[in-house]
Structures are given as C-alpha cells and as structure tokens.
Amino acid sequence: MTDEVIRLQGLTKLYEPTPRWMRVFARSHMTKPVKALDGVDLTVRSGEICAIVGPNGAGKTSMFRILVGLTTATGGTATVHGFDAGRDSEQVRQIVGWMPSEDRSLLMRATSKENLQLHGRLQGMPRRELTDRIGYVLETVNLTAQTESVVAGLSAGMRARLRLARALLPGPRALILDEPTGAVDPIAAHGLLTLIMDLVKQEQLAVLISSHRLEEIEALQSQALLMDRGRVKYSGDLDSLRREWERPEIEFVLADPATAHALAENLIAQGLHAVVEETSVRCRPNPNEPVGAVLSRLGPLTSDIRHVRETPMPLRDLIAQVYERGEA
C-alpha cells in the first residue's frame, strides 16, 4: 500500500560477544551473543501511531537505533518510505525525526534556538531553510517565548517539547519517540501527548513510540506491538487485543454477607477464583465465557443477587495475560 511509511520485515539484530582481548578494558562485557531482535515484522502507515511495549531488554531501543541509522540490522530489512535504513541512511535521516529518551542530548548552557541551529547544521540543512524551520517548530511545540532561553532554565516538560521540536526540524514523515514523557510530570505529559496526537493528525506522520506508562498508550488509541526478548508477542490494535484477551471482572452484589459467602463457594466449586468483600463477590470468568453462562450455573442463588456489574480489564492486566499465556 502506498501510505506505508515504516516497514520492518524479519528484522533481526544479533550482538556478538565482546572479543576476548577487549574484555580486559571493557567495564562490562558479553561472553555470549544476544539476539536483541528476532524476526520482527511491522508496518506503520501515515497518520498511525504504534506503541512498542515490552519489559527491559525486549529490543525496543535496538529497533529504534536501526531505524535512525545508529546501528545496523544483522538480518531482515527496515525501510522508511521505501528507503533502507542501512543502505540509504542519508535519505532516511531526512525523513525520520528521532526523539531520544533523555535530556543528555541537549546542550544545557545553550539556548533553545542554538540547540536547534546546531542540530540542523549537523543534519546538513541549508541556513535559510533552517532559520524558517526553527521558528516553525518552536511555535508548533509552544516554545516561541523560550526561543532565547537557556535550556538549563527550562522545566522538564519544556525540555521534552524542545526534544520534540528537534525531531520535527527536518520536516519528517516518521517520528520515533523513545519514552517521550519519561521525566515529565503527569500534567505536562498529558500536554505533550495531546500535542503529538494533533501533529500526527495534521501532518499525517507515522509514529513509533515506546512507553512504560500503559495508560498513555491507551490514551493515544494506538496500534501496539508487544515484545519480549526480541520476539513479537502481539501486533495489532488495542480493540482487537481486548476482543482476543479480555476477561472482564464480574461483581455480584447480594443482600447479606452470608449469601455472598454461599455464592463465592459456588463459584469456587466451578473452578473460578472469587473474592468476597462484605456483600460483594468479585470473580473473573474463564476466557470467552459470557456473564450469562456463569449466572446459569448458580442455580437458586441467582434470585439473591441484587446487582451484577462488569468491569473491563485494565490494559496492564490484559498485557500481563498476553505475556503469561505466551510463557505457558
């Protein structure tokens, strides 16, 4: 399809063990090869956000580093708008905006403008175009008033927006955002995410984002790629993930604690895990089992139930299930 921007096909990255002679000097070294990415397939289209989720060591950073040309793949391909991230790194750099996770990449004693000027020059942007672009990107991230401010004096939220402005400098087709809200307080993080969503819509960017904050991923209404030790555990949208893995919690409210205990015993006898709290009993039915099926097995106890409530599974638990069942 023509609107495919980022495409990974069988992407593999193998880090070789540290050579024996180097182990003497290296602070840490590896004695065995590590497969950071193991045959990853992914497509991100323009106007789409894909969240990369995974525990430490899942391979998120390795994937990002390949896409921005900081390291090369050992197998498969990574392309952006048809350009190969390894072979055509020059072209890829002009159409990919990279927002690293930390402020370390900013010059703290320089102003916002100076940081962007330096970055643009390193990217080979012509001086005229760079001046216009700096004004535009600072306005886009609401930092026009901080154009001449020294970075050290900016808040964490402002610095994050400056890192985003820097990623936008080349006028990219794709954005790669590594933990963009990492050090930012929740209110500023919300502002940053809203800004990112608006940008995606307006400029039809394809975005890859990594975040350990799952509530943010839900708010972004993004696609999700769940990874573990270099392998893909799930790839698709969050609604399909819910349809496939959802096990809503059911709460039964009864007239008195004695009946609540009787109902809980019945559920436990059915092999379900049930928790009693005064007159309420909570349980999670088996996968794909509707609440009606549980009720039909309760017999005469059904008439003692005052209310039934269904609570959707939090995204955190949903994802944990994918990982746990994958292990099994």
Ligand X SMILES: Nc1ncnc2c1ncn2[C@@H]1O[C@H](COP(=O)(O)OP(=O)(O)OP(=O)(O)O)[C@@H](O)[C@H]1O
46 is an interface residue for ligand X by CB under 6 A: no
Of the candidate spans 56-64, 129-137, 167-175, 190-198, the one that interacts with ligand X by CB under 6 A turns out to be 56-64
Contact between residue 225 and residue 42 where contact means Cβ atoms under 8 Å apart? yes
The closest alpha carbon to 42, from 208, 228, 196, belongs to 208
Query: Could you tell me the sign of the dihedral formed by the alpha carbons of 291, 293, 299, 300, in that order?
Result: positive
Task: Kindly state the smallest distance separating residue 230's Cβ from ligand X, in Å.
Answer: 7
Binder of ligand X out of 61, 94, 140, 222 (CB under 6 A): 61
Task: Kindly state the smallest distance separating residue 100's Cβ from ligand X, in Å.
Answer: 11
Task: Kindly state the smallest distance separating residue 179's Cβ from ligand X, in Å.
Answer: 8
Query: Could you tell me the sign of the dihedral formed by the alpha carbons of 132, 108, 216, 225, in that order?
Result: positive
Tokens of 282: 């909570």
Residue whose structure tokens are 């896409």: 67
Of the candidate spans 50-58, 80-88, 201-209, 301-309, the one that interacts with ligand X by CB under 6 A turns out to be 50-58
Q: What beta strand segments (E) does the chain contain?
A: 4-15, 34-45, 49-53, 75-80, 83-84, 96-99, 174-178, 206-210, 223-228, 231-237, 249-254, 274-277, 280-283, 305-311
- Binding to ligand X by CB under 6 A, coded x per residue (else -) over 90-109, reads --------------------
Amino acid in the structure at residue 310:
E
Q: Which is nearer to ligand X, 17 or 126 (CB)?
A: 17
Residue whose structure tokens are 């099926």: 293
Site for ligand X in 13-42 (CB under 6 A): 15, 30, 34, 36
Task: Kindly state the smallest distance separating residue 141's Cβ from ligand X, in Å.
Answer: 25
Of the candidate spans 53-61, 122-130, 187-195, 261-269, the one that interacts with ligand X by CB under 6 A turns out to be 53-61
59 is an interface residue for ligand X by CB under 6 A: yes
Phi, psi of 249 (to 5 degrees): -85, 135
Of the candidate spans 55-63, 80-88, 130-138, 263-271, the one that interacts with ligand X by CB under 6 A turns out to be 55-63
Q: Which is nearer to ligand X, 32 or 127 (CB)?
A: 32
157 is an interface residue for ligand X by CB under 6 A: no
58 is an interface residue for ligand X by CB under 6 A: yes
Task: Kindly state the smallest distance separating residue 34's Cβ from ligand X, in Å.
Answer: 5
Task: Kindly state the smallest distance separating residue 132's Cβ from ligand X, in Å.
Answer: 35
Binder of ligand X out of 10, 57, 76, 182 (CB under 6 A): 57
Q: Which is nearer to ligand X, 34 or 156 (CB)?
A: 34
Contact set with ligand X (CB under 6 A):
15, 30, 34, 36, 54, 56-62
